[in-house]
Amino acid sequence: MYDTVHVDEKLFYMTQVRRSFYLLPGEPEPERSVRSRRYITKVMMLAAVARPRWVPFDGKLGIWAFVVREPALRSSYRRPTGTMETKEGRVNKETYRVMLIERLLPALREQMPHAAEGKRITVQQNNASPHISPQDPAFCEATSRMRLSVELQFQPPNSPALNALDLGIFTTIQLRQMLRSPRSIDELVDSV
């Protein structure tokens, strides 16, 4: 159990359709604006946690956003043309593979040094369609290049109790994120 890393993704929304605010007298109302009730800006995040240890490791490997930074194509009253904008990114097998290779593997190497010493680390993911197979050639090549012993494993079906992220970590992160009332995707990513 010490060598199992739980990986899962979750959508974090900018705001909720119905939300109550308790304000002090004279306090300004929070500004909330969306395109429509049906389209509330959201960002998919990938989180990875492991069991904490007695050594200085708190179990948090990281949480990363699937976002894309692109230059603005048109000017607006808020920004000129060419300003870098953060937009929602797509989550498919390619982006998920890139996120695991570029973000998760360096975090494993940095925060779990026994992974580089040959001890096998199991990365447990659920059976969602964008997840890569345990025999993915690009992932296996990246782990061997980084000299890590990492094995991908699918979570057994219909068993949410085996993922620590679903048991309360995502709920806690979302409650803390809703306290800040973000106005942009960058603020949403920073609040998570």
Per-residue pLDDT tens digits for 80-138: 888 888 888 888 899 999 999 999 999 888 888 776 677 888 888 888 888 888 888 99
Per-residue pLDDT tens digits for 30-76: 776 667 777 778 888 888 888 877 777 777 888 998 988 888 888 88
Q: What is the pLDDT of residue 141?
A: 93
Give which of 45, 72, 40, 1 is closest to 169, Cα–Cα. 45
Question: How far apart, in whole angstroms, are the C-alpha atoms of residue 142 and residue 148?
Answer: 9
The strand ranges marked E within 66-146 are 67-71, 84-88, 121-125
pTM (two decimals): 0.81
> Which of these CATH numbers, 3.30.70, 1.10.12, 3.30.420, 2.60.40, describes 4-18+32-191?
3.30.420
Domain boundaries, the chain: 4-18+32-191
